[in-house]
Structure 1
Amino acid sequence: MHPDNSLVEQPRAPRRGPWALTLLAALALSACAGRQAPPVEAQLVYTNGNVLTVDKNNTAVQAVAVRDGKILAVGPSNAVAAYVGANTKVVDLQGKTMIPGIYDAHSHFAVARNTGTFVADLNSPPIGTVRNIDDLLGLLKIQQGKVGPKEWVSGSGYDDTLLAEKRHPTRADLDKISTTQPIYLTHVSGHLAVANSAALALAGITASTPNPTGGVIRKNAQGEPDGVLEETALTMVAKFRPALTDAQQREGIRLAGQWYAAHGVTTANHGAATTPVVLNMLEDAVKNGQLSIRVMTWSGFDSMEAVDKVKLTTGKIKVGGVKEFSDGSIQGYTGYLAEHYHSPFHGDAHYRGFPRFTREELADRVLKVHQSGRQMMIHANGDAAIDDVLYAYRKAQEASPRKDARQVLIHSQMMREDQLDEVKRLEAIPSFFVLHTYYWGDRHRDIFIGTDRASRISPARSAQARRLPYTIHTDAPVVPMDPMRLIWSAVNRVTTSGVVLGADQRIAVADALRATTLNAAYQNFEDKERGSIEVGKYADMVILSDNIAQVDPMAIKDIQVLETIVEGQSVYRAAR
């Protein structure tokens, strides 16, 4: 480390961003503040550290003072020492790196720990252990033993492309476990499911059942449902599955809070169709001391008015935008593409996936949300789906112009250059699920979309070049909540096979950190309160085991969170 604790750019530009050396400027600011009023006593001071503020200049300082849960001062250790009084607790960081608390741009917080806790974990490596359908059935047998002979047997996280058989399990496979006890599995993408004969019978799904709007009931050569359900067809069975008990849901929230905090998340996102019931559970968890981090929730189109009526008093739980879907998942063949999939789907060389709504139907829904003054967040993976979302956002602004609407495109996986230009014109925000490059990159290249399109999924570098405010996210529990691996993926774009996928879309460490902190707060209209270590903002901060700006980029994923701090209070400490 350099004597002045400043951060020095390593040679692999442009993948690292410049961290400004502004200690003298910070001293000057402190001096100005001192002339206006004498410094007040801080309750907590962190000193002798490497503090990456993520302010507009990427300032690196040494110390932070905290009072009443907010940041009182930042700057060199000797300047911030002026705020130390008789009752101040002083923490010597001993050169450790501190960053702003991670702001989760998109995940499904309230259900993030349900897999493996209340339903069988069917993930394949590198997340889980399932390598073939026999492995999957074995875990379902274990789950059956846990729930007994009468309850539904559920599992989540299976990936057909990672199974040795290279196919989805079917009703025939699940019927080997039971033909009388309902069994229901969800795909790792969350956009497909598999049901056994008992579950299909409860839903009344037969050979004559038509596909629902925006969904597909897959059928075999004889015309019988094979158990695989796509998109909106999932709900035809899922609505019959008993919900988790109240106690289970509350326990899931408690476990999620611990998991997120242990990975440096100070504000989580429940980016599903949040209901009043879930909101009240989250609020209760804060009141009961079971949840120590904040949660930004998004409602659904049909629940946006109901959630507004819930009284939230803790300040830790908020309702933000309205979540909608334009398409599904590329790896589930339900993402909606402008050009056909790389590998034919069921022999159809022209297959492009499908949208949840027609373009005009989506535009109508967006307009209703937009005119209500609410923010819109739409899931869109395929570029045809992104076209529809941009059309809907443009039409809404034309019909009812509104400044600073911050309309968001969730995942933005196949966003093209011309679409990024339109995002810029609309002042919208793309949120990239950049971990696709690691978890699915090899299969996107070889199976789903081919080399050219796969190389530019999650085009963060192109967004950076346009100076767009973009975010990156994990979509947990689709993949684990692991912000260091998320940043690592955006910086390196390495697949599970160790191949770089789209080197020209890699971004600098500073930019990836901003995408998981200040930009994510901005996405949710909270950038004035959190997202960076600046005077007046909440003291949400994380202490890391290594200097994220100076380690080998490939080592970023191995950086450990030593401590997570929310409003100046430690909510997680790693075992020493």
Structure 2
Amino acid sequence: MRHRRRLGGPVTLELAAHQRCLDAGRLKVRTRLMPTVAGLHSVRGTDDDGIDLGLDLGLTTGLGDDHLRIGAMKIWLDGSLIARTAAMTQDYACRCNPDHPAGYLQDDADTMRRQILAAIAGGWDIAAHAIGDAAVDFALDVFEEAASSGTQTGRRPRHRIEHAGITSDSQITRMARLDVTPVPQMRFLREFGDDMATSMGPERAKLLYRHKSFLDAGLRVPGSSDRPVAEGAPLLAMATMQDRLSESGVVLGPDERVDAVTALRAYTVDAAWIARDEDRRGALTPGRLADLVVLDTDISRAAPEDVAATTVLATVLDGLATHDTGIGLPVAPPPA
């Protein structure tokens, strides 16, 4: 079912990635599955098709429907800043991981390189988990190799770097040149920012999750939570995009703050785009799916603390309410 909806009264928000709707205790979802690299195996059809890694029947990114679809292939290139295992170009300032003072890659570099190139040749978009700047360099090297060698075929890829936790100016410029999208988790700054800043030191702490710098380079910045590692509520993440406050109240990277409308765009237009759903979701216009939430606050004008405190009055999936606090919207029928 598709409906036309107009903004008016309480502001509406479409959660384009991983839409979750409550219906009488049941969880309805619009989900993009990301197969991990370990789940792929040889699916060669002919000697000259160029395809090596995939899923049975040659399934790749994009298979599915509006409720369940296969997304990008996920590969972990490094660890995390929380555990000081993210692969860095310099040692951690805290000197708290003596066995690996600059973190490390998760697997043999050439093995991961071959896996990524083979998956790209098979038609997959790649979601490369890379938090440290050394891992980001590695991901960009492989993406550039794929682009220059003709490995990627067919439609223009939408490769992304999941997290992009520490990035330099030159890396951001390179992302833009290669059309690689960063997918940072801004709520990390509130929940883990103090610890991350300590492990990075004052100079490199400025390079954490550089939202505005990504945008200034012409990149999209989709909203993401990495739930359950951090709180998954989009409204909380949007508040952190605006204030960048750590739990102790320190502003981490004040020049990287964005305004309310930009934060809203991250969880609507840009989240839809990275999922290749821009023709279905991301904006409330005729022809797109009627998925939205109704809020008690106009978050396009609200202060960050008010965005975080906003209440969801109703959630709509396919034009029918799956959660309603009393507005009186048409309700989805019970399951058969």
> Fold match, TM over 0.5?
yes
Whether 1:431 aligns to 2:183 is yes
Is the 8 Å Cα contact of residues 308 and 319 (structure 1) preserved in structure 2?
no
State how many pairs are aligned: 308
Deviation at 1:374, TM superposition (A): 1.1
CA distance in 1: counterparts of 2:252 and 2:56, whole angstroms = 41
Gap change, CA 1:553 and 1:291, over 3 Å in 2: closer
Is the 8 Å Cα contact of residues 363 and 395 (structure 1) preserved in structure 2?
no
Paired residue type of 1:515: A
Q: Superposed, which structure 2 residues align to 1:302-451 within 5 Å? A: 302-304=38-40, 305-306=54-55, 315-347=66-98, 351-400=101-150, 401-402=152-153, 404-446=156-198, 448-451=199-202
Whether 1:104 aligns to 2:37 is no
Q: Deviations over 1:513-547 (max 9, x none)?
A: 11111111111111111111111111111111101
Is the 8 Å Cα contact of residues 429 and 469 (structure 1) preserved in structure 2?
yes
CA distance in 2: counterparts of 1:541 and 1:524, whole angstroms = 17
Is the 8 Å Cα contact of residues 408 and 430 (structure 1) preserved in structure 2?
yes
CA distance in 2: counterparts of 1:475 and 1:427, whole angstroms = 22
Deviation at 1:293, TM superposition (A): 2.4
CA distance in 1: counterparts of 2:159 and 2:64, whole angstroms = 27
TM-score, length basis structure 1? 0.51
Gap change, CA 1:526 and 1:484, over 3 Å in 2: same
Q: Which of these residues, 210, 216, 240, is aligned with residue 489 of structure 1?
A: 240
Paired residue type of 1:382: G
Q: Deviations over 1:54-101 (max 9, x none)?
A: xxxxxxxxxxxxxx3233x648xxxxxxxxxxxxxxxxx6x22122x1
Name the counterpart of 2:46: none
Gap change, CA 1:346 and 1:491, over 3 Å in 2: closer
Name the counterpart of 2:21: 261
Gap change, CA 1:406 and 1:338, over 3 Å in 2: same
CA distance in 2: counterparts of 1:431 and 1:542, whole angstroms = 23
TM-score, length basis structure 2? 0.85
Paired residue type of 1:431: V
Name the counterpart of 2:334: none
CA distance in 2: counterparts of 1:470 and 1:551, whole angstroms = 21
Deviation at 1:331, TM superposition (A): 1.1
Gap change, CA 1:430 and 1:347, over 3 Å in 2: closer
Q: Which of these residues, 285, 288, 294, is aligned with residue 30 of structure 2?
A: 294
Gap change, CA 1:537 and 1:308, over 3 Å in 2: farther
Deviates more, 1:371-380 or 1:463-472: 463-472
Name the counterpart of 2:283: 532
Q: Which of these residues, 274, 296, 299, is aligned with residue 548 of structure 1?
A: 299
CA distance in 2: counterparts of 1:396 and 1:314, whole angstroms = 28
Partner-residue secondary structure (3-state), 2:284: coil
Gap change, CA 1:443 and 1:561, over 3 Å in 2: same
Q: Which of these residues, 467, 472, 476, is aligned with residue 227 of structure 2?
A: 476
CA distance in 1: counterparts of 2:32 and 2:103, whole angstroms = 31
Is the 8 Å Cα contact of residues 404 and 427 (structure 1) preserved in structure 2?
no
Paired residue type of 1:443: D
Deviation at 1:316, TM superposition (A): 1.1
CA distance in 1: counterparts of 2:272 and 2:97, whole angstroms = 42
Deviation at 1:503, TM superposition (A): 0.5
Higher strand share: 1
Is the 8 Å Cα contact of residues 359 and 392 (structure 1) preserved in structure 2?
no
Is the 8 Å Cα contact of residues 190 and 247 (structure 2) preserved in structure 1?
yes
Q: Superposed, which structure 2 residues align to 1:6-85 within 5 Å? A: 68-71=1-4, 74=6
Gap change, CA 1:329 and 1:553, over 3 Å in 2: same
CA distance in 2: counterparts of 1:511 and 1:346, whole angstroms = 37
Paired residue type of 2:266: A
Gap change, CA 1:568 and 1:299, over 3 Å in 2: same
State, as a whole percentage, how many aligned pairs show the same letter. 23
Is the 8 Å Cα contact of residues 433 and 473 (structure 1) preserved in structure 2?
yes
**Structure with larger Rg:** 1
Q: Deviations over 1:367-400 (max 9, x none)?
A: 1011001111110110000000001111111222
Deviation at 1:314, TM superposition (A): 6.7
Is the 8 Å Cα contact of residues 80 and 131 (structure 2) preserved in structure 1?
yes
Is the 8 Å Cα contact of residues 376 and 407 (structure 1) preserved in structure 2?
yes
RMSD of the alignment, in Å?
A: 2.4
Is the 8 Å Cα contact of residues 307 and 319 (structure 1) preserved in structure 2?
no
Gap change, CA 1:503 and 1:396, over 3 Å in 2: same
CA distance in 1: counterparts of 2:307 and 2:148, whole angstroms = 44
CA distance in 1: counterparts of 2:56 and 2:10, whole angstroms = 41
Partner-residue secondary structure (3-state), 1:329: coil
Name the counterpart of 1:274: none
Name the counterpart of 1:161: none
Gapped runs of 5+ residues in structure 1?
Answer: 1-67, 76-92, 106-256, 263-285
Partner-residue secondary structure (3-state), 2:313: strand
Name the counterpart of 2:256: 505
Gapped runs of 5+ residues in structure 2?
Answer: 41-53, 328-336
Name the counterpart of 1:58: none
CA distance in 2: counterparts of 1:420 and 1:481, whole angstroms = 26
Paired residue type of 1:97: V
